[in-house]
Amino acid sequence: MFFMFGLLLTSGISYGYERAIEAEMADVIEAPMVVADDANASEGQFVWVEGLPVTGGGDEGWVEYNLYIPAAGTYALWGKVIAWDGNSDSYWVTWQPADPDENAQETGNTEFRWGVAQGNDWHWDRINHWLDGGTFEREWELDAGETTLRIAVREDATMLDVIYITDNLSEDEAELRAEVEIVLEAELANEIVDPMIVTEDENASDGKFIWMEGAPVTGGGDRGHADFIINIPEAGDYALWAHVIAWDGNSDSFWVTWQPADPDENAQQTGNTEFRWGVAQGAAWHWDRINHWLDGGTFEREWELAAGESLLRIAVREDATMIDAIFVTTNTGATVPDQADVRLPTDKDRKLQIEGLAVSAKGKAATTWGTLKRAYQ
């Protein structure tokens, strides 16, 4: 349900862009590179070309990532890796358009050769170019927009778990911090209370969403809610985004509380505008950052949370307001979806969310859990 990659400390300096990506979630995985299981890897999987460390070989297969860069700047890359010995400690790395459209496996251009720091446990290594005259940390000058990162096999048995992208050019791992992101299906809430219900829509993530059914123009509501038990992996400030439809001014709001940062208050009863979310209107599914719609204006919300269990409640304020998915992030500076790198849940996210329900629901939604378990087995 979350991505937490173990870049342990932060220097307190704010950088404009930090993103961590599971290696196995590449847009393209070219054989013989494959996804393999390891209980000690992030999310339990990594990518490699299978082989014995001592044999060398390689130069076939790669992974490729289509990455949107929100702002022009200078960027660095880190990888979470295992490199057993001198025969399993390198990749070829190109990042277009900063690098040319060159097949380094064919050209052998050492500008693109990454000499991976050796170690037989998972560890972080900044991507470098291992030139004949020495090894130097790499930097890429990129404009805002779409980019393509390719990590290609040079030696089999070199293992890659996570990629970390940042505009923090420090060579000190202790100054880096990966974002946490948690992606949830709305219909997989721990508890859904009537008259909020699950409804089907082929355009929604996994074909379902939740709402209080009603005609958009009528208003009404203030009954029903969905509760999500979320295990926060590390203390920090968090923001929430949601995939929504809000037809008009009578179907464009929810009440949102997130304990323990918020008090245990029933906003449907108190009408406290601190917890009123003014949902951005639109008749097609779109992302909106959860705010508080106060009488004096609408402002983005942030929650300061400790590590551990938290309870997010999204409660009906107006019927016909529709919610499909929720994206939780420590990127509190993002004001538009592309900056936050929002995404819809994957099958892996759904599996983790369901398994999390089995562990975390604590009897609060036994009927709902039984139904979900049957549906997804």
Convert the pLDDT of each residue in 276-293 to its tens digit: 999 999 999 999 999 999
Beta-bridged to residue 200, according to DSSP, are: 208
Residue 141 burial class via C-beta count within 10 angstroms: exposed 0-12, middle 13-18, buried 19 and up: exposed
Tokens of 153: 């096999």
pLDDT band at 219 (very low <50, low <70, confident <90, very high): low
Tokens of 9: 């400390």
**pLDDT over 90 for what percent of the chain?**
66
pLDDT band at 16 (very low <50, low <70, confident <90, very high): low
CATH class of the domain whose range is 182-376: mainly beta
pLDDT value at residue 377: 26
* Residues 321/329, Cβ–Cβ less than 8 Å: no
Domain boundaries of the chain, sorted by first residue: 11-179, 182-376
Selection from 305, 319, 309, 294 nearest residue 240 by Cα: 305
Higher pLDDT pick, 157 / 70: 157
CA angle 359, 360, 366 (to 5 degrees): 85
Residue 45 burial class via C-beta count within 10 angstroms: exposed 0-12, middle 13-18, buried 19 and up: middle
Higher pLDDT pick, 236 / 204: 204
What is the side-by-side order of every strand in the sheet holding 113-115? Answer: 28-30, 62-69, 145-153, 90-96, 113-115
Query: Does residue 14 have a pLDDT over 70?
Result: no
Query: Does residue 99 have a pLDDT over 90?
Result: yes
Selection from 288, 42, 44, 300 nearest residue 178 by Cα: 42
The tens digit of pLDDT for each residue in 109-136 reads 999 999 999 999 999 999 999 998 888 9
User: How far apart, in whole angstroms, are the C-alpha atoms of residue 331 and residue 19?
Assistant: 9
Q: Give the H/E segment covering residue 363.
A: none
For tokens 């082989």, name the residue: 51
Mean pLDDT rounded to a whole number for the chain: 86
* Residues 337/285, Cβ–Cβ less than 8 Å: no
Query: Does residue 157 have a pLDDT over 70?
Result: yes
For residues 169-177, give the mean pLDDT: 71
Query: Does residue 2 have a pLDDT over 70?
Result: no
Beta-bridged to residue 22, according to DSSP, are: 162
CATH class of the domain whose range is 11-179: mainly beta
Residue 158 burial class via C-beta count within 10 angstroms: exposed 0-12, middle 13-18, buried 19 and up: buried
For residues 198-217, give the mean pLDDT: 94
The tens digit of pLDDT for each residue in 36-92 reads 999 999 888 999 999 887 666 788 999 999 998 988 999 999 999 999 999 899 999
* Angstrom distances, CA of residue 99 to CA of 66, 245, 306: 14, 40, 41
Query: Does residue 9 have a pLDDT over 70?
Result: no
pLDDT value at residue 195: 96
pLDDT value at residue 135: 87
Query: Does residue 360 have a pLDDT over 70?
Result: no
pLDDT value at residue 364: 30
DSSP label of 272: -
Query: Does residue 267 have a pLDDT over 70?
Result: yes
